[in-house]
Every structure is written in structure tokens, then in C-alpha cells.
Structure 1
Amino acid sequence: MKKYIYSFLSLVVLLGMTACTEDKPDVGPAPTSDDVTFTMQPTADNPNIIEFTNTTSGSIAYWSFGTGASAKGDQVSAEYAVKGDYEVSLMVVTKGGQATSTQTITIANTDYALLNRADYNFLTGGADSLNGKGWKFDKMTTGHMGIGDPAESTPNWWAANALDKDGRGAYDDLMRFNLNGFKYDLTNNGDTYAKNYERDFFTSRGGTLISEDDDDTWAITFDDQSNWNWSISERDGKSYLQFSGDGFPSWQVGGSQEYEIQTLNEDELYLRTIGGDGNAWYLGFIREGYERPVVPPTPKPYESNDLFDTFMGSSSDVLNLVSDAGLAFTDNFEFNASPASPSQFVGKYERVSGDNPWQNLQSELPFRIDLTSRAVFKMKAYLPSTNDYSGDLAQTVVVKLHDSLQGGNSWQTQEQVVHTITQTDTWVELTFDFSAVSSRTDFDKIIIQIGGEGHQVPGTFYISDFRLEQ
């Protein structure tokens, strides 16, 4: 009897083990380059336009045409304006893996009609411009350099003001694009501005670091630019400018040498790329010799008005201060100072770690503030003890008044009142008295800054009821 029981139990265990064995899908063997096949055929209308067909069964096709252009799909086409040999690569992805095959295509003659296109002509000056076309940084325009969230398409973290990077080795550079041979040249006058994570690029090319207080400036010459070329390709409805060799557009931010063209016309070239740090970087240029027309600002009236922001997201708030330079700010945040205290809706002011040390709240007004009869601002602030104040994060609350006409240099004529808060975990009402500068008539911008500046230390604070006293 025991023998039958043991046999039955063994059978149960065996069946259980069999039932628990994971069923692995049959994905098939990984493909090799020999498995990747494709055909290429000139179109009936133009031998410089080639149609490609993926003949690899059960695969997704990714093409690289040897011109900087690429595409996805089983049937695609590409233009080859200039005669020569081009290496065409097809990478296929199957259930078993991926593989690549390459073929060479020879274009017998140059088709000048394919070169006569608007983007080429804007960039290079066209076939009649024997020396190509020069471009320089649009240094007097806000946003000629910038950084932003890689998921966004604007420099929402920082945008350079006019001459923000003067003396760093960028503004005297001249880029030149030529249609003849798709040649690209960079005249850097002996120095180049770069992000500090690109040091290996410059040291490996004989560069000498001459400044590192604001990213890096390198003493370097690029004597051999013989393999520096450019190309333009289209993908998913966007145009991209690619650089080959060691080429880059004046400011070295790293990445793939591929730049999305956001603006290209006779006078402007604005680019976006994902840099070597994974962030989105923005570069803006104007053609050599171009000067933007100067539009005089519309004068603002000089007025004494109610100014307040409850930070509750109310449409009646006059100021509606907004975050700048990477600050994370939340209106109408439900806050409890302690479990026993009632909830209140306030502004949550979060300094975040990142590239910008000047995080703040600000509001530009449609008038200039008359301080002669009302010059005292008040607000409430709450500084949690959970922040780390042992380093650069300061226990300070600052209100600044600026003149927006000064642009990026408005800090030079600012007035500010600074409070150092010694109490934490409690609401403190603060007074900011600007009576000493009540004769000034140029202020039209209000800035609130908490936690200091010039650092990237994170910290969370709460504010409420900002107002200009009666």
C-alpha cells in the first residue's frame, strides 16, 4: 500500500513540475547580414531618385541612405543630387533579433535641379554663392542659446539674454555652409565655447582649457576640416541638419551631430539637438552681415495700482507670478503645517536640482510701478526644517524690483530687500519696504526668490498672500 502511495505522490510532483515549466515562445534564430536582402531601382523619371524595397521576410526595415538621410518602411525612396558612390544600409528587426546589410550605389551624374531647393539655398546661398554662406550667433536676441526639457520643443529651463555669453569664445565664430561638395567650415578664431562634459573631445584634439567658470572655453584650432560636411534629411515631418567629421555648430554641446531645424530662412537659422547630457539644447544664428531691425519698445504708463497674488490660482489675482529658470511652482497647493492644523491653499515653491542656479518667481507688469505713495510689500513664508540648510541653500526670502528694458542686465539696476529667516516650521509674515527708492520710475517687474541663488541645491518652501500695502 505504501508503495502505491509513494508512486502516486511522485506522479503528482512530476505533473506539478511539468505544469510550472515556463512556456518560452519560439522566436526563431537571430538573423545575420546574409539574411538581410533588399533591392534598389532608379525611378522612371529620374535616375538620381532611387526606390528601395526590403525583401527580408518578417521584418521591420530601417534605412540609412549614405547622405545623412534615413527612413523606415519596406518601400522607401531617396534623392541623390550629387554624383558619387553611397553606402546604403538596411537594418532589419525580426522576432529573433536584428541584423544589417550594406550595398553601394553609384550615381553617375549630378542633378542640379535636385540641389535647387529652398532649404539648401537658404543655408548656403545657392549654386551662385561660390564661397558659401556665413552664419554667426544671433547674440542680441533672447533665446540664441538655451536648454530645455528633452520632451519639449522650447528652451523652457533657460534662454540666453542678449550678450549673455560674451567673451566665452562663441560670438566671434563664423560658420560657413557651401553647396559645392556640401562643405562645412568653422572659423573659431582660436577659441571655442563648450559644455564641460565635452572635455574629452577637446583634450583628444589638442585643446587647452583657458576658462571653466561658466562651462568651458578652449584654446583650440581645427586645422584639418577636410572631412567636415553637412547634410539635410527629413524624418517624421521634421528637417534635420547633420554634421560629419568633427563638425559642430560653434557651441559644442555633444550628442549625435544631428540638429532639428526649427527655423531656416534667408536671415535666420535656429537649431535644436539632444546634447551629450540628454537635455535639449538650442542654438540660434543669423546670416553674416545681417542686423535685425530695431523696434523701439512701447512706453508703459506710470501708475499706482493694487498688486497682489494669493497663490490660490484665482483669476482675480493681479500678479499671477510664474516660475522662471526651472523652478517648480504649484498654485493652490493644499498644505498642512501639522496634522492638527487646518488645511490652507498656498503656493508651493520648489527649487530643483539642474543646470540653472537662478530659480525664482516673477511677473512683468503692463505699467511702471509708482512707489511714491505705496512702497511696502508684504507676504507670508514657511520654511520647513526638512530642507538641508547646511550648505548653499539659504534661509532667505528676497523681493526684487527690475526694469524689463534692461533685459538680461536688469540685475545691474535692481533694488532688493532680503530677509533671513531663523524660524522654521512656522508661518512668518515679512515686510519689504522700498521707500528708499520711491523716486525710481523704471520698475515694471517683480521677482520673488527663496533659498538663495548661484547654486543647484533643491529645497521646498511655501508662500502666501503677497501684496502691495495700501
Structure 2
Amino acid sequence: MKNIFKIGLLMSMLAMLFTACEPQEFDSGDARESYPPSEEEVTANVSQGSDAYHFEMVSNAGVSGIHLIKWDLGNGSVAEGKEVVAYYPLPGTYDVTLTITTNTGAFTQKVVTQIVQEETDYSIFTSEKFIFLSGGVDDLDGKTWVLDSLAQGHLGVGAPGTVGLGYWSAPPLAKQGVGELYDDEINFSITGFAATLTNNGKSYVKDFIANSPGYSNGYEDDTDYVVDFTPALGSWFIEDRDGKSFLTLSGTSRMFPIFDVDAANGSYEILKLEENLMELVALGGDGNAWHYQFIPKGYVKPSITAEILVTDISATEVNTYEASLTNLDIPAGQAISGVTFDFGDGETLVADSYTDVVSHTYMRAGTFMISAVVSTSIGDLTLSETVTVNANHPDYVPFLLDEMVMYNDFSEVAMAPVVGEDCSVVSMANPERIYPNRSASVAMYSKTDNQWANANMKLPSGYRFDLRSISTFRIMVYGNAGDVVLLKLENTDMGGNAWQTGVELTYTIQNDNTWEVAEYDFSGAATADLSWDAGLAPLMASDVTTDDRYSHDYYDIVRIMLNAGTGEGTHEFYFDELAGPHVEGIKSAQIN
């Protein structure tokens, strides 16, 4: 082994490698004394380090007002500080350039030494990190990485010194369509430690570096910038220091892992490096910590799989069912963060752990969908199972009324929300608080160029209107005389065909801008005319209040339309105090 130290300029590097030292600032001094040193004063002491591949370098500059001491180590990496340790594991000749910058911005730059390395540190070729990153000597074409776009936190930002997710953690596909970011890739090859960034001519970069040399025609896209950029072949290296591992990128043009945040000294701390996963964090040019997560190009991450297990324990606890997850498969690197069970009757339970067993007791007979939403590291997984409860619970008291009940008065009572479909429905101040409607708040309906826009109230899952005793619905209306207000009942279980067995009645507003009671009595009302369809005609009912198919346990939504079938122009009116038959199983409206 032969190590030669010379002063002066010589050859450029044979391969890139890397150093380690924490950045630091020095005494700002008095600005009147802050003059850069002369070239003669810019010198450094270089000595052998802990082994044949490490060298200790100390700046001899002793000038007041020094703000920054920066080293270009000739191996493709830079370091900051008065004392640094440089690593040269491959043969080559390396010029070391020292730059002294004062607090006024003046600087002096000089090649202070030259390292000639004739030895090879072969341990890097068997290092697990080097192999995971590049494929090692068995893959001389290198290994290509892309952003793990389906993972939470594949990009992120946080406070300096953190993993870079505290301020923002990108949800899956957060940058879909932004600057073709997810099409970019970076290849690492052990041959010459080459780094190749492929960006199809454009790169996504932080806004504060969009005008950097090499970038052109930048335009803003989702807070940062897309720029034209043709990257040159770069270099990479991994080095351990202070108990951490760092990946350093460099090149004759800017070199970065797909998204440029102007990482300090081109250095990225390796948080995790496995065969199919890489997480990095870098100190960006804005002073924040920026997080990255990558997977190999073409790699398909295994998904978390599970099933929902529903167990009927009614033999010991009446109408009670247990729910849990079973047949779980959680691949390495993935996790479950929470599970929410929905029992289909309005009751939900959040499990403390995904291994928990939760139970629920049904009070009413019926068929219910039990679902579980499993929150995972790569998105939500939804599972479901249907159960049939054959009888009401012994403690259940049917809520039978001979009078109408208030569903929603937009002031105090709301059994269920009233929402707009293809129209606006908003709660607002009563335009005229006089009898018969002195309510403080009412609903305003407004549609534009839409025939079937409707305000609707859908009952909670498992509940239906009962038309057998009371079949009358009422609302207060306030609008233009001659406008027609339609009220229709439907069964949403039928999806887009719900209209086919729906039943509807109309009320014509009698006076301009006066509160009136619109009443809809469905006694004797028939379902939609389906005679045109031989297959559906047998489903028609001449009186929905006496036909057991429709009189109860069927309709679950009421729709209100203004001038239905008229699609031109804007149509508006006010309505309030939506009321109708009691709903079996709901004892009272919810009081706001």
C-alpha cells in the first residue's frame, strides 16, 4: 500500500466516495475583520485515519469572521467543518478543495491536497446495504428504484432532526399526474458506483430551487415546480458514521432521488434499506427534514389480507353476535393501525387492537350487514358478512304511534339529515316568521337545469317507513304560486332502479311567498306504472298502504322535488317541518 500526499491540482476522481462530519458555523466575528484568507493561508493538515481508507483533514485557516469551511473531497462528495474524515475505498487520485467563506459572503477556494489511493476496501462489495441498494456484483446493470406511490408517507416533510413526516405525510397517489413524478426512476450500479436518474426530460423540484442552473421552463404544479432537466450520469456511495448510514449522491449536474429538495451536501440518511424497501430522510435547502420511501421498479408489494369472522352467541346472550378478524396475513413492512366494526343498525365499535373480539346485541329482528374497515399502511381494507336476526329482543318495546312524528324541522329536531342531490339544500333564516311557521330556521331548495334534482332524507340502515296506520307526510312550503312540489318514497336497496317501484304525490303551491301546509296522503296511492314492462308489471301495487310488499319494511327514503321533469332554468322554494308516519325502531327524533 502506498499513500502519497501532494499539494496542488492533479487528476479528477476515478470513482465517487464519501465523508462524514456534522455541518457547523464558526464565530461570525466583527464584519470589519471579516476578510477571506489569502490562498497562501488556506492550508490543511492531512493524516492517516483509523485504517488505510480513511483520512483525517484539519483546516489551518485562522481568520476572524469565518462563517463556513467547506471541503470538496474529490470523490464526489462534500463536507463541512474545520475537521473532517474522508473515506477512499477505491484506487484513484483525488483532489481535495477547501473553500473558506466569511460572514460577508467573501470566500477563498484552493486545492489543498491530493490523495492517491492504491488499495481497495473489498468489504463494500459484500456489504448488505450496498447489495440491497445496487444489486451488488451479481447485477452489474444495477437496481432501479421508484417512489412507493401507494404507501402513506412516500414523500413527507417535518422538523429538522426528525424522520420528515411531522408536517405532511403524502397519502397514496398524492402526486398522481403531478409532473409525471411517479414515472421517474433512479438506478444504482456497483460498477463505478454510477447513479442514473431517468426523468423523461422533466423533474419535480422544490419551488426555491426551480431557477437553479440546469433547470429551465419551470412552472408551478401543486405547490412546487416542474422543470425541464437532462440529468448527467452521477455517482453514489454509502458510509456509516455516528451510528447512522448515509447515501450520498453527486454528479456534474444535479443528482437527487427523483424529487429534488436541495439536500444538504447531497446526503440522505438511510432510515431503512431492505431488498424491497428503502426509506431516506434529508435536510432540505429550506431547513426542513424531507422523507422518501422507495420500492424496486416492477416490484408488487404483497397486500394485507384478512377475513371477518362473525359468531352467533345467541344461545348464551340473546341476539348477540361477536365479530373479529381471522386468517390475517400481514407482510413484512406493513401494518394494521385500526379496525372499526359497523353492525348495520347504526352501532359502530372501534377495536383497541386488530386482534380484539367485539360483540353487539340486536334489539330488532331483520337482516344486517356487519362490516369491518381495516386501516392498513397501504390503505383501507373493507370486509363484510350478513347476519339474519330472527326475532326481536325480549327487552325490545315496539314504538307504535297513532300520530305523525317530526323528522326534521331544521331548527331543533333531526331524525336524519336532509341533503340535496343535484341541487342545493341549505339551512337558513326563515324568510317570514309568521303563522303557520314561526321557526327560526328553514331549508332552501335550489336547482338549475336539472329535471330530477331532489332534497332527500334517508333513514338509518335497517329502518323503514310504516304506512299501515299513518300514511300521511307533510311539509311546510313557501314559494311561487303554481309551482309543483313532488314527494316520493323509494327503496334505495334497488340502486339505480329504485324509481321503478317508488310511489309519489304532488302538491301545487297556492299563493306566492306564503307558508302553506303541503299534505301527501298515500292511502290508495299506487306504485309507478310498470305496465310497459312485462317483467316488472306484476310488481305494481294499487295501494301501497295495504300491499304487504310496500306498506312496511320497504321504503327507506323520501325525496322532495320542485317542478319535477322541468330541466330548464333555476327553481327555488323554502320548506320546513318534514313530518310523517312513525319509523319502527326509532323512539324519538334526535334533538340538536
In the superposition, the TM-score normalised over structure 1's length comes to 0.52
1:371 shift after superposition? 5.8
SS at match of 1:171: helix
Give, as a single letter, the amino acid of the residue that structure 2 aligns with 1:296.
Answer: T
Report what 1:262 is aligned to.
271
1:278 shift after superposition? 3.3
Report what 2:148 is aligned to.
138
Report what 1:86 is aligned to.
94
Report what 2:199 is aligned to.
188
Paired residues for 1:113-132 under 5 Å? 113=122, 115-116=124-125, 117-132=127-142
Distance in 2 separating the partners of 1:73 and 1:368: 59
Asked if 1:246 is matched to 2:259, the reply is: no
Cα deviation, 1:206-250, whole Å, max 9, x if unaligned, reads 4464x73564445x452x514x22233455443332322211211
Cα deviation, 1:233-276, whole Å, max 9, x if unaligned, reads 45544333232221121123334333222222322221112334
1:416 shift after superposition? 9.6
Report what 1:458 is aligned to.
none
Report what 1:175 is aligned to.
186
SS at match of 1:152: coil
Cα distance change on mapping 1:43 and 1:263 into 2, 3 Å: closer
Decide which moves more: 52-61 or 180-189: 52-61
Report what 1:159 is aligned to.
169
1:155 shift after superposition? 0.4
Cα distance change on mapping 1:254 and 1:368 into 2, 3 Å: same
Contact preservation (8 Å) 2:339, 2:374: no
Distance in 1 separating the partners of 2:427 and 2:154: 38
Paired residues for 1:416-435 under 5 Å? 435=459
Distance in 1 separating the partners of 2:209 and 2:60: 42
Indicate the structure (1 or 2) with the bigger Cα radius of gyration: 2
1:79 shift after superposition? 2.2
- Of 47, 55, 79, the residue aligned with 1:50 is 55
Give, as a single letter, the amino acid of the residue that structure 1 aligns with 2:282.
Answer: T
1:185 shift after superposition? 0.9
Cα distance change on mapping 1:172 and 1:109 into 2, 3 Å: same
Report what 2:448 is aligned to.
none
Number of aligned positions between the proteins = 317
Contact preservation (8 Å) 1:254, 1:275: yes
Report what 1:109 is aligned to.
118
Distance in 2 separating the partners of 1:30 and 1:161: 49
> Identical aligned pairs, as a percentage?
27
Distance in 1 separating the partners of 2:377 and 2:427: 30
1:135 shift after superposition? 0.7
Aligned Cα RMSD in Å? Answer: 5.0
1:111 shift after superposition? 0.9
Contact preservation (8 Å) 2:338, 2:375: no
Give, as a single letter, the amino acid of the residue that structure 2 aligns with 1:103.
Answer: V
User: Any gaps of 5 or more consecutive residues in structure 1?
Assistant: 1-23, 303-363, 376-401, 424-432, 441-467
Distance in 1 separating the partners of 2:115 and 2:198: 33
Asked if 1:292 is matched to 2:301, the reply is: yes
Distance in 2 separating the partners of 1:282 and 1:93: 30
Cα distance change on mapping 1:215 and 1:56 into 2, 3 Å: closer
Contact preservation (8 Å) 1:122, 1:264: yes
Distance in 2 separating the partners of 1:366 and 1:300: 13
More helix by share: 1
Distance in 1 separating the partners of 2:56 and 2:222: 52
Distance in 2 separating the partners of 1:438 and 1:197: 55
Report what 1:5 is aligned to.
none
Contact preservation (8 Å) 1:270, 1:285: yes
1:176 shift after superposition? 0.4
1:123 shift after superposition? 1.8
User: Any gaps of 5 or more consecutive residues in structure 2?
Assistant: 1-28, 312-336, 349-371, 381-415, 420-424, 430-456, 464-491, 493-589
In the superposition, the TM-score normalised over structure 2's length comes to 0.43
Cα distance change on mapping 1:174 and 1:151 into 2, 3 Å: closer
Give, as a single letter, the amino acid of the residue that structure 1 aligns with 2:237.
Answer: S
Contact preservation (8 Å) 2:340, 2:373: no
1:78 shift after superposition? 2.7
Distance in 2 separating the partners of 1:369 and 1:175: 44
Give, as a single letter, the amino acid of the residue that structure 2 aligns with 1:137.
Answer: L
1:296 shift after superposition? 1.4
Report what 1:147 is aligned to.
157
1:37 shift after superposition? 3.5
Distance in 2 separating the partners of 1:161 and 1:49: 42
Distance in 2 separating the partners of 1:103 and 1:109: 20
1:77 shift after superposition? 4.2
1:184 shift after superposition? 1.2
Cα distance change on mapping 1:154 and 1:38 into 2, 3 Å: closer
Cα deviation, 1:11-55, whole Å, max 9, x if unaligned, reads xxxxxxxxxxxxx99x99967253344332446963x44344556
Contact preservation (8 Å) 2:90, 2:119: yes
- Of 226, 229, 232, the residue aligned with 1:225 is 232
Distance in 1 separating the partners of 2:201 and 2:58: 48
Paired residues for 1:246-395 under 5 Å? 246-256=254-264, 257-297=266-306, 299=308, 366-370=339-343, 372=345
